[in-house]
Chain A
Amino acid sequence: QVQLQESGPGLVKSSETLSLTCIVSGGSISSYYWSWIRQPAGKGLEWIGRIYSTGSTNYNPSLKSRVTMSVDTSKNQFSMKLSSVTAADTAVYYCARGRGPGTIGDYWGQGTLVTVSS
């Protein structure tokens, strides 16, 4: 059974960079698409972007200027950096696996709350 686990600081200061890692277990990271999705408290889901196991990336146009994703196949994990954060970036961040190029998440992590403080 594939499992995903997000890790990273739960508190980030405004204007700094948010960094998260998703560790994949129970399956290989190769040949799949891996996405980051976030959800502010009480609000809906927002797709941040995705990375293929070869390193190819696609980003949400509204976040593209601030997002960078990377993958480490040797460690079976992938990561995300979001720069110049503000309070609006406070949310639960999820990582997920896409079963194909047209689907985001057949497996999801449990989510991690990141709070941006001033």
Chain B
Amino acid sequence: QSALTQPASVSGSPGQSITISCTGTSSDVGTYNLVSWYQQHPGKAPKLMIYEGSKRPSGVSTRFSGSKSGNTASLTISGLQAEDEADYYCCSYADSFTFVFGGGTKLTVL
């Protein structure tokens, strides 16, 4: 069970859109539409932003959206705001009733 692959860092200016990719395999992302995305600010617990690929929990801004193509899931943040600066982790349900996280992506708002 290998970690999902995410870019180490992405950046964007306020108001712009950015996309974070999350690449897995046919044992996880490619088979199950059960990718979730978490936002983590320094020293804080992760916060669920997207679940089951593209669903937003109540209270999460519509600026956050999720999608999937093949073995790669993506998180898009539109209308970047300073408060979006954080680490983002993808997580996928995988074979044998397990879960695997991505290595995390640091988002910098310029």
Contacts and interface: CB of A to CB of B under 8 A. Distances in A.
A106 B37 CA distance: 11
Contact of B91 (A58, A61, A104): A104
A104 B99 contact: yes
B45 interface: yes
Contact of A44 (B34, B51, B101): B101
A35 B36 CA distance: 14
Size band of the interface chain B makes with A = 20 to 34
Given A45-B101, A61-B1, A102-B93, A108 B34 contact: no
B52 A103 contact: yes
Interface in A85-106: 94, 99-106
**Residue of A62, A99, A105 ringed by the most chain B CB atoms within 10 A:** A105
Task: Give the interface size bracket for A toward B.
Answer: 20 to 34
Interface of B: 1, 3, 32, 34, 36, 38, 45-48, 51-52, 57, 89, 91, 93, 96-104
Contacts of A47: 91, 98-101
B45 A110 contact: yes
18 contacts: A37-B46, A44-B3, A44-B104, A47-B91, A47-B100, A58-B96, A58-B97, A59-B98, A60-B1, A60-B99, A61-B96, A100-B52, A102-B51, A102-B93, A103-B52, A104-B36, A108-B45, A111-B45
Contacts of B57: 106
Nearest to B57: A106
